[in-house]
Amino acid sequence: MKPAQLIRNPIHFLAFGFASGLAPKAPGTAGTLVAIPLVWLAQQAGSWGYLALTLLVVIAGIGICSYSAKAMGEHDSPAIVWDEIAGYMVAFIGLSWSWQNILVAFVLFRLFDISKPGPIGWCDRNLQGGLGIMADDVLAGVATGLTIQLGYVALNLFY
């Protein structure tokens, strides 16, 4: 079954990032763009609330992505972008809402997600099912967040 047919199912609707994964070009980028307002909304819950919501999105994502991948008969279809949403949320753990953080996190997350360096690529190549779909993006989010945080530490050392 094609993603456009599956989207009537609420689980697939989530897996496809509220239909952003159906973008004809760069569905992962479209899914990451959808994550931006979701990060803002989740941050309204405060630091602990944001962390809890992000954890919920990641854990639920394993099942959501697995369910849609099985229905499609394709591991990690480009249409499945819940993992990008979760990864971008992970990137914002401990970050404040600012246009600089939004932009830098977006660019870094897409770079890490596309290039898949080190353990990100290992997860992508070796893990299967919903965990495999989610793990590389969660690690790309961790790498993004750490890179930004280290950048702030470095800036504070010099200024």
For 46-58, write each residue's pLDDT tens digit: 999 999 999 999 9
Please tell me the distance from the alpha carbon of residue 116 to that of residue 73, in angstroms, as a whole number: 24
Q: CB under 8 Å to 142, separation ≥6 — which residues?
A: 90, 91
Written as one letter, the residue type at 41 is: L
- Based on the structure, what is the number of domains in the chain? 1
Q: How many CA atoms lie within 13 A of 42 on its CB side?
A: 28
Q: What is the pLDDT of residue 28?
A: 97
Confidence check: pLDDT of 78 > 70: yes
Asked whether 71 and 124 are in contact (CB, 8 A), the reply is: no
Q: What is the pLDDT of residue 158?
A: 82
Give the chain's radius of gyration (CA, Å).
Answer: 15
Confidence check: pLDDT of 144 > 80: yes
Range(s) of the domain holding residue 24: 3-158
Query: Alpha carbon 67 to chain centroid distance?
Result: 17
Three state DSSP letters for the chain:
CCHHHHCCCHHHHHHCCCCHHHCCCCHHHHHHHHHHHHHHHHHCCHHHHHHHHHHHHHHHHHHHHHHHHHHHCCCCCCCCCHHHHHHHHHHCCCCCCCHHHHHHHHHHHHHHHHHCCHHHHHHHHHCCHHHHHHHHHHHHHHHHHHHHHHHHHHHHHHC
Q: What is the pLDDT of residue 1?
A: 63
Confidence check: pLDDT of 67 > 70: yes
Please tell me the distance from the alpha carbon of residue 76 to that of residue 124, in angstroms, as a whole number: 9
